[in-house]
Amino acid sequence: MATTGASPQFIFHNANVITVDPKFRKARAVAIAGNRIAEVGADEEVLKRAGPDTQLVDLHGKTVVPGFIDAHVHAIHVGVSLLPGYVQFNDCRSIGDMLAAIARKAESTPRGEWIQGSGHFDFDLIQEGRFPNRWELDRAVPNHPFFMRIRGHLGVANSKALEVLGVTKNSPVPAGGYVFKDERGELTGLMLDNAVYDLAMPKLPRTTREEWLSAIRLMNQRFLREGITSAVNQSGETLSYLQELKERGELGTRWQANHQGSSNYFHRPVEDIAKAVRDLGAVTGQGDAWLRAGAIGELHSDGLIEAPWMHEPYAQDQFGPNWKGLLRHDRETLRAICLAAADRGFQMEVHASGDAAMEMVLDIYEEVNRQVSVRDRRWLVTHGGILPTPRSVERARNLGIIVSTQQPVLWTQSHYYKQFWGEKAVANVFANRTWLEGGVLINGSSDVGISPLLGIYMYVTRKNFFGEALGPEQAISREEAIKLFTIYGAYSTFEERLKGSIEAGKLADLAVLSDDPLTVPEEKIKEIQVLMTVVDGKIAYEKSGSATTKP
């Protein structure tokens, strides 16, 4: 496990190295020369390579893993929502807390200017178990339009915002969208999926260049603290900003930038779709090890929590007794996009949360495959459907489909999921064991930038914040969970020969952990700390006291 060449600049030794190579071997030392791994093996062998300028890093038995890969994350939008201009709700535990946070922001915002809320918070920890309505928001912020976009699927507006947006109780509701009303037929301020995209997004303040750049910098630092060295970002509109930081040498972590998904195709005639795909520019894989063009995606076939497209009605009747979710793109449009993507050589990543959506997407992939082979294109289905059938698993395997699952999102949202879908369905959200045993590769991801170590814990235990195991029969082994965030993530981006494991010749992207996720008690996995992150052969993050360096 060695390459020849100059003396390494680093040798990490006295370590517990989980290589994630094909045999999942362990080692004691890693040598890094330039931006590549030069040798992996026993201390006595690797230390022989030391030259006069080699830095010897004694890790005192700490664990080294390949740099983590978040294979599906709306990272830059998360970063924007964390900027100072947005109201943050992460510490809120009630609607009262949320309203107080909004009111504080209003005090420092000129009357009449927009106020926006962050898009992610802990649903299950909100005492009332729901979102504030527009009348509650009006009490907190009567003189400013307020809008909060949640997970990209749900929007919440106060009355002033509805007025500015021009949304009334008589406004037409776009296909694939939903507008919430009370028993009197009055708008509650909540809107869903395509209603957010059509009725709200076009009139909200545009994110500025400086905000995009700040968001990327913020997420780079957050990734490094969590041992993430590569991410697949789900927003094509930010590619130019990633490129700008790359040219400045400020990128920090590796990015695959997916091309614009659903919003690029809403209301576009089917006959224009092929041209829209041709106009996308860089095909999947173009770029370099720092920044690559990715798939077309995330392209939505259905909703997420409130509106996955299902065969059977939901457990709740909030939308009516026969609610089966929303179809956000019709079948003909989805098929046209996928066929144009196949013709140009793009990878596809289509969101399918419900079982009916999963089957429709697989139908379309099969139809396209009969005209243009996609077997080796590594097309993805994101979220992976609830209760996948044996037939769906077989079809995905035969097409070489990768299923991208996001177990971490259930950490503080599983109760919210359960109220819509019921116990059985929630137990089979992210049916990781079913997919793997059926021969379908899955990758690990967070959707919203949650720690991979918490993710590994959840893939292994299926537990949420409250310690409840959700469908424990879908749990996977620790080795499998680590692969999800390393080599399987690399495979998803056609980079398994470049990264994803600690092997000679691969990129020197590593994370040093306080404990071994393979051997610590299960409940301790989520408490493991990242002590150091190495990107491109350089120490990009180090927690104080984590290592001893000897020149």
**pLDDT tens for each residue of 8-37:** 999 999 999 999 999 999 999 999 999 999
* Total domain count, the chain: 2
Same domain for 96 and 38, yes or no, is no
Q: How far apart are CA 278 and CA 283, in angstroms?
A: 9
Q: How far apart are CA 116 and CA 205, in angstroms?
A: 9
Same domain for 60 and 95, yes or no, is no
CB atoms within 10 A of CB 332: 11
Flag whether pLDDT at 498 surpasses 80: yes
**pLDDT tens for each residue of 188-198:** 999 999 999 99
Whether residue 301 is contained in a domain is answered as no
Nearest to residue 421, comparing CAs of 336, 323, 515? Answer: 323
Flag whether pLDDT at 277 surpasses 70: yes
More confident residue, 323 or 288: 288
Same domain for 90 and 156, yes or no, is yes
Q: Are 131 and 157 in contact (CB under 8 A)?
A: no
Same domain for 144 and 49, yes or no, is no
Same domain for 158 and 45, yes or no, is no
**pLDDT tens for each residue of 80-135:** 999 999 999 988 999 999 999 999 999 999 999 999 997 666 789 999 988 999 99
Whether residue 18 is contained in a domain is answered as yes
Q: How far apart are CA 535 and CA 227, in angstroms?
A: 10
Same domain for 192 and 110, yes or no, is yes
Q: Are 369 and 395 in contact (CB under 8 A)?
A: no
Q: Are 64 and 16 in contact (CB under 8 A)?
A: yes
29-33: strand order across its sheet? 36-41, 29-33, 10-13, 55-58, 548-550
More confident residue, 150 or 507: 507
Looking at 203, 232, 263, the residue that finishes a domain is 203
444's tokens: 């690990």
Average pLDDT of the residues in 40-46 = 98
Q: Are 18 and 45 in contact (CB under 8 A)?
A: no
HSE value, Cβ hemisphere, 13 Å, CA-based, for 114: 19
Whether residue 319 is contained in a domain is answered as no
What is the pLDDT, as a whole number, of residue 120? 65
170's tokens: 């008589």
Looking at 145, 173, 203, the residue that finishes a domain is 203
Whether residue 130 is contained in a domain is answered as yes
Measured CA distances, 293 to 231, 238, 335, 339, 534 (Å): 12, 11, 22, 19, 23
Beta bridge partners of 299: 350
Comparing 4-8, 183-187, 228-232, 467-471, the range with the smallest average pLDDT is: 4-8
Looking at the chain, the whole-number percentage of residues with pLDDT higher than 70 is 96
Same domain for 195 and 87, yes or no, is yes
Q: How far apart are CA 39 and CA 41, in angstroms?
A: 7
Q: How far apart are CA 428 and CA 498, in angstroms?
A: 33
Same domain for 16 and 128, yes or no, is no
CB atoms within 10 A of CB 172: 10
230 pLDDT tier (thresholds 50, 70, 90): very high
What angle (nearest 5°) sits at the alpha carbon of residue 184, between those of residues 178 and 190? 30
Measured CA distances, 532 to 159, 358, 481, 542 (Å): 48, 39, 21, 4
HSE value, Cβ hemisphere, 13 Å, CA-based, for 200: 31
Flag whether pLDDT at 5 surpasses 80: no
Looking at the chain, the whole-number percentage of residues with pLDDT higher than 90 is 79
Q: How far apart are CA 466 and CA 456, in angstroms?
A: 17
Query: Any residues with CB less than 8 A from the CB of 475 and at least 6 apart, and which?
Result: 432, 433, 459, 460, 461, 462, 469
Beta bridge partners of 380: 349, 402
Measured CA distances, 25 to 15, 486, 521 (Å): 13, 15, 21
Q: Are 475 and 96 in contact (CB under 8 A)?
A: no
For tokens 């590569």, the residue is 230
What is the pLDDT, as a whole number, of residue 324? 92
What is the pLDDT, as a whole number, of residue 548? 62
What is the pLDDT, as a whole number, of residue 547? 65
Beta bridge partners of 1: none
In total, the chain counts a number of residues equal to 551
Flag whether pLDDT at 1 surpasses 70: no
Backbone phi and psi for residue 320, each to the nearest 5 degrees, phi listed first = 115, 160
How confident is the prediction for the chain on average, in pLDDT? 93
Nearest to residue 81, comparing CAs of 197, 204, 192, 175? Answer: 204
Whether residue 380 is contained in a domain is answered as no
What is the pLDDT, as a whole number, of residue 421? 83
SS3 content of the chain, % helix, strand, coil (to 5): 35, 20, 45
**pLDDT tens for each residue of 396-433:** 999 999 999 999 989 998 888 888 888 888 888 999 99
Beta bridge partners of 193: 177
What is the identity of the amino acid at 298? E
Task: Find the domain containing 38 and state its range.
Answer: 10-66+506-550
What is the pLDDT, as a whole number, of residue 262? 66
Average pLDDT of the residues in 517-534 = 98
For residue 7, the 8-state DSSP code is P
Flag whether pLDDT at 281 surpasses 90: no
**pLDDT tens for each residue of 430-457:** 999 999 999 999 999 999 888 999 999 9
Q: How far apart are CA 144 and CA 410, in angstroms?
A: 33
Measured CA distances, 373 to 283, 332, 379, 398, 539 (Å): 17, 19, 11, 12, 42
Same domain for 25 and 62, yes or no, is yes
Whether residue 362 is contained in a domain is answered as no
Same domain for 34 and 60, yes or no, is yes
Same domain for 85 and 196, yes or no, is yes
Q: Are 551 and 9 in contact (CB under 8 A)?
A: no
135: domain CATH number is 3.10.310.70
- Residue 259 three-state SS: strand
Runs of H (alpha helix) within 305-442: 331-344, 355-369, 390-399, 414-421, 423-427, 432-437
Flag whether pLDDT at 4 surpasses 70: no
Q: How far apart are CA 205 and CA 153, in angstroms?
A: 18
Flag whether pLDDT at 530 surpasses 90: yes
Same domain for 85 and 107, yes or no, is yes
Beta bridge partners of 27: 17
Work out whether the CA dihedral 295, 289, 542, 10 comes out positive or negative.
positive
280 pLDDT tier (thresholds 50, 70, 90): confident
**pLDDT tens for each residue of 302-348:** 998 889 999 988 887 677 778 899 999 889 999 999 999 999 999 99
Looking at 161, 184, 203, the residue that finishes a domain is 203
30: domain CATH number is 2.30.40.10
270's tokens: 């089917």
HSE value, Cβ hemisphere, 13 Å, CA-based, for 124: 16
Average pLDDT of the residues in 48-57 = 97
What is the identity of the amino acid at 498? L
Average pLDDT of the residues in 463-492 = 97
Whether residue 97 is contained in a domain is answered as yes
What is the pLDDT, as a whole number, of residue 357? 95
Whether residue 151 is contained in a domain is answered as yes
